[in-house]
Structure 1
Amino acid sequence: MTDVGKGKWHWRKMAHWALGVSCAAALAASGCSAGNGGSSQPQAGTGNPSAQATAKETAKETAAEAGKPLQIQIFGGLYNEMPDMNNAFWAEWQKRLNVKLDANWVPSGDVITKLDLVLASGDLPEVIAYPNQGLTVSMINAVRNGAFWDLTPFLGDLSQYPNLKNNTPPNWQKFLSVDGKIYALPRSRSLIDNSVNIRKDWLDKLGIPVPATIDEYRNALKAIANGDPDGNGKKDTMGIVGINEGVSPFEAAFGAFAPHYDSEGGLVWHELTGEYTSLVEWLRGLYSDGSLPKEFMTMKRTQMEEAIGTGKAATYIRSTRYHYDFEVQAKKVQPEAKIIGLPPLKGPGGYAADLSTGVNGGIFISKKVPEAKVKQMLKYFDATASQEMTDFGYSGVEGVHYKVVGGEKVPTELSIKEVNTTSLGAGVFAYVKWGKVDNPGAPKEANEQKRKEVADYEKLGVYNIFTWLISNTWVNTWPKYSSEWNAMMTKAIVGQISMDEYKTYVAKLNNLPEFKTAYKEFAKAYSYYK
């Protein structure tokens, strides 16, 4: 069980899981019909008495289990405070779907590290809600080593799973496939996710117009970091806090997400392109300006959240829906705080707007789960992709998490605490255009304003194709060099090595035979995608 107070995890060792929850009993509230198929109940043989007896016995067991909650162990990311799984939101969620969740919520900044440890141990939970668009090397290897169910034969043409078929992002199967097989269900999210934000009240105080280009943004951060926008008489404000979660929009601005081929026709890894090197040089400029804190590469998510929430930083790039939360926190110490989403900043190679694929990670089912229970889980996850459960996931319970006033949902104070990003971690959900923009705890006018601020992101944004392209050689090669590359990039940013030294290092990597082989594999994979 999850120890809510301490966030500790203890796997339940259970002798028997309830395997006979019928679709009608388990998911009636979500519109799943008993005739949708996928039941674990075998059919009686037509001419074999022993088979008929076995089928009858199984039917009795299924009938005895019918109506009991489907119990699921799930490993997912914690993006807010640790939830009480018996609170109003989660109690209603589990009641509607007739499910009992044994959830291990891991702080988002540590979730990949913890996941690697879980994968290495082999002691997997039943479900892993993987949080990123691209699979890590350890996840790809775990898939190939048989750690998770191949869902392709279960899903078929999706006719048994109407919500997965009709409500989810297009092409999600491609983004969650390894070697042509589907190993996960989508965590449906909006295309517009991250956006570059800034303290508008600080811009106003320093007489700086809202930036429209990458260079204007850099100049604004320099003025903020070297001025005294908070009026405390000290030069202690940060420009952009950390970069380990906020580089992708700037990659798009420098053109690093566009396909780049080497002289042999190989598709070069985005972080080793000349465009990304130009981004590193730009970040070097931010550091020399004083706009990046000295500890920028080691700051954890909690530290970055604290910096923006206590009025110490101008920018912290996260999902757009967090802008409101950051502003609410900052207003406690600086009542005039105002955080806006910047328009897509024009850069030398595009705009600072990267798009999600609409599939923000996937839901993987451990191969340790019995096949009959896999089918039940798929029915559960299909139900979570219904419009009804999606509306609930984003809004909560009427009268508890929101009130309807003048035909509009007005969130209550409890909504901010219980209806949030973490509460989206146990389901698939239907695609919602503004799902990562609207904040369920914000008033209507605040969400409408935020939509206006980022409306052009979808039109001008680009995708990182490497979130779904897979090269076998790259999977085996990049882990040997990634830490070294990260260290060299950091040295270049902080001025410990020259940019020429960094460029020479990148060129050396790109000329390694295994890198060239990987790039050819990426090119081939991309040609299939196109």
Structure 2
Amino acid sequence: MNKRILTVKAAIIIAGFYMLSENNRETRDQAFNGESSGVQAAVALNMMAFSFGGGGWPEDHPMVKQIDQMLQMQLSIDWTPIDTYSQKLNVLAASNELPDLYSIEEQDFNKWKGTGAFLDIKPYLTQYPNLTAYLAPESLSFMNPRGKVYGLPYYLTDTRDALIIRRDWLDKLGLPLPITLDDFLRTATAFALKDPDGNGKADTSGFSFSILNNKFNHLEFIMGAFGLGNEWIERDHRLIPMQVQTEELKAFLTFINKAYESGALDKQFPTNKLKDPLTMLEKGKLGISAVVPNEYYTLTLPQVKRSYPNAELVQLLPPKGPSGLQSTYTNTSTMKIVINANIDQTKQQKALQLLDYLLSDEGYDQNKNGIQGIHYTAETDGSYKKLPAFDTDRPQLLTTWFFRRLDPDVQIRKWDDPNTAKQIRKFYDTNAKYRWPNPAAGLASPTQAQKGPHLQAKWMDTILKIAVGELPMSEVDEAAAAWRRGGGEQIIQEINSEYQKTLE
């Protein structure tokens, strides 16, 4: 019965994409736009975007007012928390009430891109030149059917996060910067056992990480060094999932277990929340951690310096694995921005105008830095000064959470110290040398969507028990076999079928 209900709901969602209620829409739009009385008015456009900590803007936000005035529209933004975003979007789809313009996650985009839900933007690219000037051709084709542009990319600096190490701890213990994984383990163990902060207590750890959605988070530099794929790896034009790389997993888990037993690895890592390792670094209890470069200079380093003024932190290159492999955190963005295909052309063109404006020199500057006189001032010496309203209004949310150029400097403001900006770019340039791509990013697998999360949870439960010594290393083989039996084999087939299409 439940399965039938779900099937009916899915059918309603898909059918909803083909049901046009244009008469109602046009009547409503004409009334709003003043067509019946001959008065030209702003076009109403509703948009739905992800929101994170702090939520989105109120309706009367100065940035919305500015956009309305610039583009002759009345923009309404539904800022929806990322945790409930997909659920809400599916409810709106079932009732044929999708927004005019919205963000969409990978699974929903792949599910709906063949249903007529999204406007094909490709025919309009020449009319809106900023979309091609500031978005790379490969980003426009990524995940879209050949010859179509249904979704525009949400840009992420894919190799953003970097490793940081306490240089002052190295100096106190007479240790060099670690080069290899063996060096790394020796250094991390010394940080845990040799009192690097000099307080006479055994209260420091070498490194730590967290588990996010049943996946290792900020352990990429060790995983890739042992030859593991970033979820998937390509071998002879075929993709192999990390869950079945049993030999590489055994080498990796042997290393993690050694680190755990020696004290080099924080004993609390299985229960860590996302930011816990960074908090340990900021409190002076962790010697090596991953950081976000922008936040490192504005938040992390000042926090460390307040408690430990003599602390010295430097970037640590990814340590070399047994065969010389090095890798860094690499996250391919699979989020998309789409326009509703079933709204009238006036709204579609207004949505395209908004997207083009957000990438223009004027629009991009304003949505990064805010409005001059409200969020910052231009000083007589040519410099800029941030005003308190920037922190309270958060005018940068559209570039942070919705749509932006392919620009690694997206979070560098006019008033930021040029030397800090230079150091942040150096982080990114260094990280890019050790990119660890996922060759299956964006590929669709119905079985993965249905069974993948449960399979991953079961697999990770076994892997963690092996890592802390509760299960023998031989259980890696059984974990891989169980993953295959539970639906993993079908996932492999579906992903490879999609992958072969990209090679044609």
The TM-score range, normalised by the shorter chain, is 0.7 to 0.9
Aligned to 2:317: 343
Tell me the number of residue pairs that the alignment of Structure 1 and Structure 2 aligns: 461
Q: Is the 8 A contact 1:411 1:443 kept in 2?
A: no
Distance 1:516 1:473 in 2: 10
Q: State which drifts further: 489-498 or 344-353.
A: 344-353
Task: State yes or no: 1:273 paired with 2:245.
Answer: yes
Q: Is the 8 A contact 2:370 2:396 kept in 1?
A: no
Indicate the RMSD between aligned Cα atoms, in angstroms: 4.2
Task: State yes or no: 1:500 paired with 2:468.
Answer: no
Q: Is the 8 A contact 2:370 2:390 kept in 1?
A: yes
Q: Is the 8 A contact 2:319 2:326 kept in 1?
A: yes
Task: State yes or no: 1:118 paired with 2:91.
Answer: no
Q: Is the 8 A contact 1:224 1:238 kept in 2?
A: yes
Displacement of 1:55: 9.1
Q: Is the 8 A contact 1:390 1:429 kept in 2?
A: yes
Change (3 A) 1:144 1:432: closer
Displacement of 1:99: 5.5
Instruction: Summarize the alignment of residues 66-215 of structure 1 with structure 2, pairs less than 5 Å apart.
Output: 66-67=41-42, 70-78=44-52, 81=54, 85=58, 100-104=75-79, 106=81, 111=82, 113-119=83-89, 121-122=91-92, 126=99, 128-130=102-104, 135=106, 137=107, 139=108, 143=112, 149-152=117-120, 154-156=121-123, 158-177=125-144, 182-215=149-182
Aligned to 1:301: 274
Distance 1:194 1:170 in 2: 25
Residue deviations 1:338-379, cap 9 Å, x none?
A: 44332243234622224455x462224567866653442232
Amino acid at match of 2:272: M
Aligned to 2:225: 253
Distance 1:453 1:364 in 2: 32
Counterpart of 1:424 in 2: which secondary structure? helix
Residue deviations 1:165-197, cap 9 Å, x none?
A: 221133123334379865432112334412222
Q: Is the 8 A contact 1:266 1:516 kept in 2?
A: no
Q: Is the 8 A contact 1:413 1:441 kept in 2?
A: no
Amino acid at match of 1:189: L
Displacement of 1:440: 7.1
Task: State yes or no: 1:459 paired with 2:426.
Answer: no
Q: State which drifts further: 377-386 or 214-223.
A: 214-223
Residue deviations 1:26-69, cap 9 Å, x none?
A: xxxxxxxxxxxxxxx99xxxxxxxxxxx999977259646346x
Change (3 A) 1:305 1:114: farther
Aligned to 1:60: 35
Aligned to 1:330: 304
Task: State yes or no: 1:528 paired with 2:501.
Answer: yes
Unaligned stretches of 5+ residues in structure 2: 1-24, 212-216
Distance 1:382 1:55 in 2: 25
Unaligned stretches of 5+ residues in structure 1: 1-40, 43-53
Distance 1:398 1:463 in 2: 39
Distance 1:99 1:329 in 2: 42
Aligned to 2:489: 516
Counterpart of 1:328 in 2: which secondary structure? helix
Change (3 A) 1:115 1:240: farther
Distance 1:420 1:310 in 2: 31
Counterpart of 1:425 in 2: which secondary structure? helix
Distance 2:38 2:186 in 1: 69
Amino acid at match of 2:359: A
Amino acid at match of 1:246: H
Change (3 A) 1:482 1:460: closer
Q: Is the 8 A contact 2:189 2:206 kept in 1?
A: yes
Change (3 A) 1:57 1:341: closer
Aligned to 1:3: none
Distance 1:168 1:402 in 2: 30
**TM-score, structure 1 normalization:** 0.71
Q: Which has the higher helix share?
A: 2
Change (3 A) 1:405 1:57: closer
Q: Is the 8 A contact 2:33 2:40 kept in 1?
A: no
**TM-score, structure 2 normalization:** 0.75
Q: Is the 8 A contact 2:221 2:328 kept in 1?
A: yes
Change (3 A) 1:481 1:327: same
Amino acid at match of 1:528: K
Displacement of 1:524: 3.5
Distance 1:336 1:91 in 2: 47
Aligned to 2:7: none
Q: Is the 8 A contact 1:270 1:466 kept in 2?
A: no
Residue deviations 1:391-446, cap 9 Å, x none?
A: 3344444564475687666767776776698552354222214447x577752212
Counterpart of 2:259 in 1: which secondary structure? helix
Displacement of 1:221: 2.5
Change (3 A) 1:102 1:89: closer
Q: Is the 8 A contact 1:151 1:181 kept in 2?
A: no
Displacement of 1:386: 1.8
Amino acid at match of 1:431: L
Aligned to 2:3: none
Q: Is the 8 A contact 2:118 2:340 kept in 1?
A: no
Instruction: Summarize the alignment of residues 15-26 of structure 1 with structure 2, pairs less than 5 Å apart.
Output: none
Displacement of 1:143: 2.9
Sequence identity percentage: 21
Distance 1:469 1:288 in 2: 38
Displacement of 1:76: 1.4
Change (3 A) 1:213 1:99: farther
Change (3 A) 1:235 1:501: same
Instruction: Summarize the alignment of residues 280-299 of structure 1 with structure 2, pairs less than 5 Å apart.
Output: 280-299=253-272
Distance 1:447 1:435 in 2: 11
Amino acid at match of 1:298: T
Change (3 A) 1:419 1:104: closer
Distance 2:183 2:255 in 1: 12
Counterpart of 1:460 in 2: which secondary structure? coil
Distance 2:68 2:201 in 1: 50
Q: 2:448 aligns with which of 458, 474, 497?
A: 474
